[in-house]
C-alpha cells in the first residue's frame, strides 16, 4: 500500500526583522510583557513599501522544497495552499503560486483552516495519495499578517504575536510495507467559537460588502481574539487530541521522538509538556524568532527541526499538533520512511 512520505521541506521568511522594542515605538507594549506572556523575541514582517502576498512567500519556500526534493514544478501533480491571509479576495493563492511556478494546468486547492491549515493539508494530501488522485503533492503554508494588523494599542494583544513567513513540503506516495508515513490523523472543528478569533471585514454577509462611510480604522477590519479563552481551550484540547492520535496508532507517548506543535505561545507549549510529563527537549520551539506564523508555523518548525538534526532520519517519529481560529484543532503522527 502507498504511504505518504515527506521528501523535503523548505522555508522562507521576509528579511525584515521586527523586534519587541520596535513594537514599543508604535503601541503601548513592552519587550518584557511580550517575552513573559508569549516567549516571542522578534518576528519577520514584509517590507511595508513592497507588494508581497502569501503566494510570493509561498513561492520562495516552494522553490527551496522542490530543489531539496530534486523535483521540477512539472513533477507536482497537486498543489495545496494553506493560509488565512490570501493575496487577494479571490482567486486563491494556490492558483497564484501555480502560475508563479510556471505551470498552467496542475490542480491547486486552498485551505482556510488557519493555525491547523498544515494539519488539514497533510491529511488531504494523504487522502489524495491513498485514493490515487495524486502522487506528488506540494503543500504550502504561508501568511502575510503584518499588512492586516491593528498597529495601535487597541490591537496589541493580537499584533505582537503574529509574524509573516512560509514553509513548504513535498509529499510523495511510495509503495512500501514499512510502518511509515501518516500513522494516525485526528482533526476537529468547533464553529461555535468562530468569534473567539476572527477578522470580520470585508464580509460578503452584509448587503454591501464595502460598507459606505466606514472608517478604515474600524476595529472590524482587524483580527480580534479572546486570547485567554483560546489559551484555555488549547491547554485542554491539545493533550486530548494527542492522546486520540496515539490511541488510533496504538502507540505510547514514549514512541514519539519529537512533538512539533503550532507555535502560538511558548507558555501553551510548555504547559503541554508539563501536562504530558515530558522533558522540554521533546517539544520543538521556534516561536522566539518568528512569532505565530499560523499556517506556516508547523511546517516551518518541521523544516528547522530537520535542519537541526532533531528529526528526518528513517524511523524518526514526530507528532504534529495545533489549535487555532475556527476553532480548529488536530494532531498527526508521522514516521519517516
**327 near ligand UT7, rule: CB under 6 A:** no
14-47: burial string, b at 16+ Cβ within 10 Å, e else = beeebebeebeeeeebebeebeebbbbbbbbbbe
Q: Binding of ligand UT7 at residue 295 (CB under 6 A)? A: no
Per-residue cell: 100? 508563479
Cell of 311: 528529526
170 a catalytic residue: no
> What minimum distance in Å lies between the beta carbon of 203 and ligand UT7?
20
Task: Please report where in the chains the cell 510502518 appears, as a residue.
Answer: 179
Chain position whose Cβ is nearest to ligand UT7? 227
**Cβ distance to ligand UT7 smaller for residue 4 or 113:** 113
- Sign of dihedral through CA atoms 270, 273, 274, 279? negative
Single residue of 4, 8, 20, 29 touching ligand UT7 by CB under 6 A: 29
With binding defined as CB under 6 A, does residue 241 bind ligand UT7? no
Mask for 97-126, x = binds ligand UT7 (CB under 6 A): ------------------x-----------
Q: Does 329 bind ligand UT7 (CB under 6 A)?
A: no
- Strand-pair partners of 328: 189, 324
Q: Is 320 in the site for ligand UT7 (CB under 6 A)?
A: no
> Cis link prior to 91 (omega < 30° from 0)?
yes
End-to-end CA distance of the chain: 13
Q: Which is closer to ligand UT7, CB of 148 or CB of 227?
A: 227
Answer yes or no: are the C-beta atoms of 137 and 157 closer than 8 Å.
Answer: no
Tell which one of 85, 106, 292, 293 touches ligand UT7 (CB under 6 A): 292
Interface residue list for ligand UT7 (CB under 6 A)? 29, 33, 37-38, 115, 156-157, 160-161, 197, 227-228, 230-231, 234, 264-265, 268, 292, 324-325
Amino acid at each position: 500500500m502507498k504511504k505518504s512520505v515527506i521528501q523535503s521541506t523548505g522555508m522562507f521568511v521576509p528579511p525584515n526583522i521586527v523586534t519587541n522594542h520596535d513594537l514599543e515605538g508604535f503601541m503601548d507594549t513592552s519587550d518584557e510583557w511580550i517575552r513573559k506572556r508569549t516567549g516571542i523575541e522578534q518576528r519577520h514582517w514584509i517590507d511595508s513599501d513592497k507588494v508581497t502576498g502569501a503566494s510570493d512567500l509561498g513561492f520562495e519556500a516552494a522553490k527551496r522544497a522542490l530543489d531539496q526534493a530534486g523535483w521540477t514544478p512539472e513533477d507536482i501533480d497537486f498543489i495545496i495552499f494553506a493560509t488565512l491571509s490570501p493575496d487577494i479576495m479571490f482567486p486563491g493563492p494556490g492558483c497564484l503560486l501555480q502560475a508563479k511556478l510556471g505551470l498552467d494546468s496542475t490542480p491547486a486547492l486552498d485551505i482556510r483552516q488557519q493555525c491547523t491549515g498544515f494539519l488539514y493539508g497533510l491529511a488531504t494530501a494523504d487522502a489524495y495519495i491513498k485514493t490515487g488522485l495524486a502522487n506528488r503533492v506540494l503543500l504550502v503554508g504561508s501568511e502575510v499578517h503584518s499588512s492586516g494588523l491593528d498597529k495601535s494599542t487597541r490591537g496589541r494583544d493580537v499584533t505582537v504575536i503574529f509574524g509573516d513567513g512560509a514553509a513548504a513540503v513535498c509529499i510523495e506516495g511510495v509503495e512500501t510495507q514499512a510502518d511509515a508515513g501518516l500513522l494516525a490523523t485526528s482533526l476537529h472543528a468547533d464553529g461555535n467559537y468562530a468569534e473567539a478569533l476572527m477578522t470580520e471585514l470585508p464580509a460578503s454577509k452584509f448587503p454591501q460588502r464595502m460598507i459606505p462611510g466606514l472608517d478604515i480604522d474600524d476595529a472590524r477590519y482587524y483580527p480580534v481574539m479572546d486570547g485567554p479563552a483560546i489559551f484555555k481551550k488549547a491547554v485542554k484540547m491539545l493533550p486530548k487530541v494527542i492522546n486520540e492520535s496515539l490511541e488510533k496508532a496504538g502507540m505510547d507517548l514514549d514512541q514519539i521522538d519529537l512533538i512539533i506543535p503550532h507555535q502560538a505561545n511558548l507558555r501553551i507549549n510548555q504547559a503541554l509538556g508539563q501536562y504530558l510529563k515530558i522533558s522540554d527537549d521533546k517539544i520543538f520551539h521556534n516561536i522566539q524568532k518568528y512569532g505565530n506564523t499560523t499556517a506556516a508555523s508547523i511546517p516551518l518548525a518541521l523544516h528547522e527541526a530537520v535542519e537541526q538534526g532533531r528529526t528526518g532520519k528513517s524511523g524518526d517519529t514526530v507528532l504534529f499538533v495545533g489549535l487555532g481560529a475556527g476553532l480548529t484543532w488536530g494532531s498527526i503522527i508521522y514516521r519517516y520512511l
